[in-house]
Amino acid sequence: MSAVTPEIQRISGLRRFKDKGVQVLVYLAFAIAVVPLVSVLWMVIANGLARFDMEFLTHSMRNIGARDAGGGAYHAIIGTLEQVALASLISVPIGLLTAVYLVEYGTNGRLKRSISFFVDIMTGVPSVVAGLFILAFWILILGMPFSGFAGAMALSILMLPTVVRAAEEMLLLVPNDLREASYALGVSKWRTIVKVVLPTAFTGIVTGVMLAVARVAGETAPLLLTVFFTDSINNDPFSGPQMGLPLYVFDQAARPNDTAIDRAWAAALTLIIIIMLLNLAARLITYWRSPARKR
């Protein structure tokens, strides 16, 4: 061995300097990342609070003239909740089953690889294309009317890949030991998946689904082409035009009067609050279901 015998030394000045330098950079990066988040929240809250009142939450825009104050987004809130719920109802089961197939059944087969490939492609589909597809296929070719359901279908196209990827990641995280432990007890494969694998991945899947919901709840483009605009309340997502909060913001913000601009800000605030509440609900569900709570 020709190496110099190592000896215990003081930390060199250069290393200390590098350490501090990198530390400063990391904090700086964090601060820069937080700036847009905080400023968006701040702007929306500051501008939205002016019209964020009971009237806004309980009234539609029916019979509100172009320059009138008042009016609200009740019809849009209903629309967004129904469309997002329907979109989840379509995409969560399909997405979850796809992920189960990819992780548990598709053993490097051609089908698995092609599904994976197409999910990746779907992730990259621009949201307006999803809207266009539903417009062309559902509304123009099949001759269905504009409706909340058509919007929900467009949203579910955007949700699906996110749900598949999130659920797939979570299922892959479930240790193989648990599957083997279950098989070794003489439990069949599908029961192992339903009773052991899915419950273990449950919290992660819920978080992933919530991220997907949050993403599509703010989508404007697919709704633009599928649900049409309306100022009235339409509780039935399966017939007739329906409003959505992102559309409402888009519509109101394009108008020249301050009353409309204020409504747009309030609607943006409402949308953020709805997504926050949904996230909170998901957190509560996962907290309630987590094994640590029973300790």
Binding to another protein by residue 5, rule CB under 8 A? Answer: no
Binding to another protein by residue 188, rule CB under 8 A? Answer: yes
Rounded to 10°, the helix 245-253/258-289 angle is 160
Rounded to 10°, the helix 74-100/258-289 angle is 40
Closer residue to another protein (CB): 205 or 266 = 205
- Give DSSP secondary structure letters for 10-29: PPPHHHHHHHHHHHHHHHHH
Shortest approach of another protein to residue 189 CB, angstroms? 8
Residue 3: DSSP 8-state? S
Binding to another protein by residue 178, rule CB under 8 A? Answer: yes
Shortest approach of another protein to residue 291 CB, angstroms? 4
Residue 31: phi, psi to the nearest 5?
-60, -45
Token pair for 178: 């648990």
Name residues whose C-beta falls within 8 Å of residue 281's C-beta, 6 or more positions apart in sequence: none
**Of the ranges 4-12, 37-45, 192-200, 280-288, which one interacts with another protein (CB under 8 A)?**
192-200
Binding to another protein by residue 7, rule CB under 8 A? Answer: no
Token pair for 196: 């052991």
SS3 219: coil
Binding to another protein by residue 182, rule CB under 8 A? Answer: yes
**Of the ranges 28-36, 83-91, 184-192, 270-278, which one interacts with another protein (CB under 8 A)?**
184-192
Binding to another protein by residue 288, rule CB under 8 A? Answer: no
Binding to another protein by residue 184, rule CB under 8 A? Answer: yes
Closer residue to another protein (CB): 88 or 200 = 200
**Of the ranges 32-40, 45-53, 83-91, 197-205, which one interacts with another protein (CB under 8 A)?**
197-205
Binding to another protein by residue 270, rule CB under 8 A? Answer: no
Q: What is the CA radius of gyration of the chain?
A: 25
Q: How far apart are CA 202 and CA 86, in angstroms?
A: 21
Token pair for 195: 């009773």
**Of the ranges 40-48, 96-104, 174-182, 228-236, which one interacts with another protein (CB under 8 A)?**
174-182
Binding site for another protein (CB under 8 A): 107-108, 175, 177-188, 191-192, 195-196, 199-200, 202, 291-292, 294-295
